[in-house]
Amino acid sequence: MKSLWAPWRMSYILGQDKPDGCIFCQASDGVGYDNLVLGVGETCLAMMNKYPYNNGHVLVAPKRHVARLSALSLEEQAGLIFNVTLATQAMQELMNPEGFNVGLNLGRAAGAGIEEHLHFHVVPRWTGDTNFMTVLGEVRSIPEHLEASYQKLKPYFSRLK
């Protein structure tokens, strides 16, 4: 029998790794692996998801702390779509996924983990990445370490400056 080793998940399961305050507001102050920030622009930022659904899972958020799409300016809306596009282009070139899940969850009832600061999820997908482990065991196997994905994607987000 083979074991799936993902020790970084334990801090999430036990709730020990949750920072005080909003992760997106904190991320807009700096760029680096410690806060998983890929890049910060005038209106938006992109960062890795610390607890990804799949390797390469990127979060794109406005810098401004808003929960509703209607609260965004046209410039912020354009920045969000630009960064979602940038994320998909970077992943397509570097990871060669066969598709993407792109979306946002608005409100707790919709599954938002951080409901007070809206953000898009950009998740690369491959045929077979959801298999029996996910369906039966509620376990997802992520083949690439978070730091490796970060180092791979980081150069693409220099365009945000």
**Each residue of 60-91: pLDDT tens digit?**
999 999 999 999 999 999 999 999 999 999 99
| Nearest-5° Cα angle at 129, 89 to 120 | 45
Domain ranges of the chain: 9-160
Does the annotation mark 119 as catalytic? Answer: yes
Nearest to 120 by CA among 79, 149, 160, 71: 79
Decide: 160 and 27 in contact? Cβ < 8 Å.
Answer: no
Fold of 9-160: HIT family, subunit A (3.30.428)
pTM of the full predicted structure?
A: 0.79
Predicted pLDDT at 10: 60
pLDDT digits (tens, 9 = 90+) for 92-112: 999 999 999 999 988 888 887
Decide: 56 and 91 in contact? Cβ < 8 Å.
Answer: yes
Give, as one character, the DSSP assignment of residue 116: T
Find the catalytic residue in 65, 119, 121, 145.
119
Q: Give the helix ranges, DSSP H, for the chain.
A: 9-13, 23-27, 74-95, 132-137, 146-153
